[in-house]
Structure 1
Amino acid sequence: MILRRATEADIPHIGQLFYDTITQINSADYSPAQVEAWRGGWQNTAGWQEKVAAQYFLVAEVPTGLTGFASLCPNGYLDFLFVSARHQGQGVARQLLHALLHHATGLGLPSVHTDASRTARPFFAHHGFMVERAQEPVIRGVEVPNFRMVKPLAVLHSDTLL
């Protein structure tokens, strides 16, 4: 598996993976109405183009296609971390997360924060994120609960280097 920056050519595959993961994985933790509301923007090509252009947006790829994607905004907001249903439990999310955290540390960010789904909360907690608060955002008229989670980052100071 390789990690690389997403390109515009990846957008249809990113949208499909987003849709499939919410439908097949997140549906265990959310109602059918919540799943429908959440996955509703999967074909918003302009929205995906904007995200890929503005964020540090990575895809995980194997010869047969994308296995996951993740993105980080310049302010330290981890916007996306999705892994295909066929590749759950294979370390894809861990590799994507580590790449984003490495990038954030390189930018000198003091922390990374995300809005973790019920499904993703244990994963983020395992990787040192702490719940700051429970949230109930409304997506397409439906409450889709999640958790604001934060991970402090070690800041490297030039005076500590030998």
Structure 2
Amino acid sequence: MSAPALRPFLPADTPVLAAIFVAGVESLTGDDYSEAQQEAWAAASEDEAEFGKRLASGLTLVATLDGAPVGFASLKGKDHLDLLYVHPAAVGQGVAASLCDALEKLAAARGARSLTVDASDNAAEFFLKRGYEAQRRNTVSLNGEWLANTTMQKSLGDKTGGAK
């Protein structure tokens, strides 16, 4: 098993990243969300042009294994992890951790003192293990369905001073 490689998002990646997004939602969230919620969530990538614009609007990294895209993550602004999705076949191979490590370092380099994420219920444990702390529960309406998530925050860099 090789380690994941990271590279910047290219517009040509949009279709494969949309497929990874849908596969992740459909295969990895069933314990926490209903089928109707999953369908509403997955529909966010149906308009590939809009999905591509969302990916291009932030700093999006693509993780590859043996040259094939298997995951992606986006930094929105300097301090919000907007998207983190891994293809179900690549779960447990360090893909999400590599993407998070890179975005945490990039956020710190951009001057962020902390990083926030609105973590789905199935992703919250991953972020807790990485040192993120739950701040508040949220309920969001997506394509006619209500989904819950948790805003989580992690301090970056110097922990001796400044606001959290």
**Scaled by the length of structure 1, what TM-score is found?**
0.91
In 2, distance between residues paired with 1:39 and 1:86?
A: 18
What is the number of residues matched between the two proteins? 156
1:129 aligns with 2:132: yes
Q: Matches of 2:156 and 2:132 in 1, distance apart?
A: 10
Match of 1:21 among 24, 31, 44: 24
Give the letter aligned to residue 67 of structure 1: V
Give unmatched runs, 5+ long, in structure 2. Answer: 160-164
Q: Deviations over 1:64-86 (max 9, x none)?
A: 62111001012411101111100
Q: Do the aligned partners of 1:105 and 1:155 also contact (CA within 8 Å) in 2? A: no
Alpha-carbon distance in 2 for matches of 1:87, 1:80: 17
How far apart, in 1, do the equivalents of 2:86 and 2:141 lie?
Answer: 23
Opposite residue 75 of structure 2, the aligned amino acid is: L
Distance apart, 1:153 and its partner CA? 1.1
Q: Please provide the CA RMSD for this pair.
A: 1.4
The residue that corresponds to 2:76 in the other structure is 73
Secondary structure, aligned partner of 1:143: strand
Deviations 1:102-142 (A, max 9, x none): 00010011111111001000000000110001111111111
Indicate the percent of aligned positions where both proteins have the same amino acid.
33
Tell me if structure 2 keeps the 8 A contact 1:29–1:119.
yes
* Partner Cα distance (2:52, 2:86) in 1: 19
Summarize the alignment of residues 95-106 of structure 1 with structure 2, pairs less than 5 Å apart.
Answer: 95-106=98-109
CA distance in 1, matches of 2:89, 2:129: 22
CA distance in 1, matches of 2:80, 2:156: 13
- Contact 2:78–2:107 (Cα < 8 Å) also in 1: no
Calculate the TM-score normalised by the size of structure 2.
0.90
Report the residue type matching 1:147 in the other structure: T
Which blocks of at least 5 consecutive residues in structure 1 are unaligned? 157-162
